[in-house]
Structure 1
């Protein structure tokens, strides 16, 4: 009896095969909220990724498509996945969501409870994998940059990030752990314990350094 090949190895082999085909463009949809919506603007993380690909001389091998809408939560992504992702027929999708699911629980009382977040997130992954799309998961980075765990939503962000890591492990998806990387960066570069201005403009949305950090991390995961 043949053993089932783990999805991660299927993902890796498939992406490697695509990368080795000179005339094959790898299409990547970056799927998220206002952070991703801003990512296609000058200085945004998607724009920075495109610029880096051009500098490396491989811009024609990758097509990056931003699919972010401000205010979106995980169930908003699920409701628009057909038109904004599947219709694009991508090879890879990056799921970058979770900030509003946490943030809006206190700011607007319209956040997403953990059990519902998990169900919708799993449904997204299953839908993409069923359609042969490779999935990269991102943990939500910050809602406030203080490093002493005094940001109001730190507890929930850690919880939801942990859920994403667990889901990703279960479904063999690589993780861009922005929650971990942003905290590490702030521990080194935020000695005054500021709540914004290090990687964000307003505690949530990315400044130039934040966009660069996200761009660098995702490029390492996409370019093979």
Structure 2
């Protein structure tokens, strides 16, 4: 079984050791029976993922792709419908090649109050517009997944289901999940993977 994780810094898992990334933990969750390849690139957009789909994904001939992206598009003020259309195009291209896709719904990662006024970068459309755009993108992507019956998981769940402080799951940059956050993510992804496997084993794998 080969799985490729295609995404941005949330997939690359910036700020943590390779062995503490959620894609690597996936191999541990499956007792190393699955070959999980991390193709996350920090700052990448859904346009970039479309552009490198053949070289980074199709060339690996995977059984399944875990696709997570869109927050950087939001940062650069790309309309939500365009971001979703890129995700849809990637899923249909993979489907054409007989590859199952699990879509990761990105979390509300950018919090101006948490990041502080000294954060060195500013979103292209401003903080308020970014917050609204990420919310709209999340809602639209979930709606598309449900309408077309695409498999998906919500990365925001690691925060919604956490009983302690959110900072317990976030790294020093105040954006990316730390080791514990990655562990929680690996469990959410694994749960969705097993749901597909048990529900339709022949089609998915």
TM bucket, shorter chain? 0.7 to 0.9
Greater shift in the superposed pair: 135-144 or 71-80 = 135-144
Q: Which of the residues 211, 214, 222 maps onto 2:182?
A: 211
1:189 corresponds to: 164
* Aligned position for 2:5: 30
Give the structure 2 partner of residue 193 of structure 1. none
Q: How does 1:44-59 map to 2 (within 5 A)?
A: 44-54=21-31, 59=32
Offset at residue 53 of structure 1 (A) = 2.3
Structure 1 unaligned blocks of 5 or more: 1-25, 106-110, 191-195
- What does residue 73 of structure 2 align with? 101
User: How many positions carry a matched residue from both structures?
Assistant: 178
TM-score of the aligned structures, taking structure 2 as reference length: 0.78
**Larger relative contact order, structure 1 or 2 (CA cutoff 8 Å, min sep 6):** 2
CA-based RMSD of the aligned residues comes to 2.3
- What secondary structure does 1:143 align onto? coil
Cα deviation 1:37-58 (Å, max 9, x = unaligned): 237812111122222222xxxx
Deviation by residue 1:196-224 (Cα, 9 ceiling, x = unmatched) = 62322123211012101110011112234
In 2: Cα distance, 1:146 partner to 1:120 partner: 27
Structure whose CA Rg is larger: 1
Structure 1 Cα separation of the partners of residues 175 and 73 of structure 2: 13
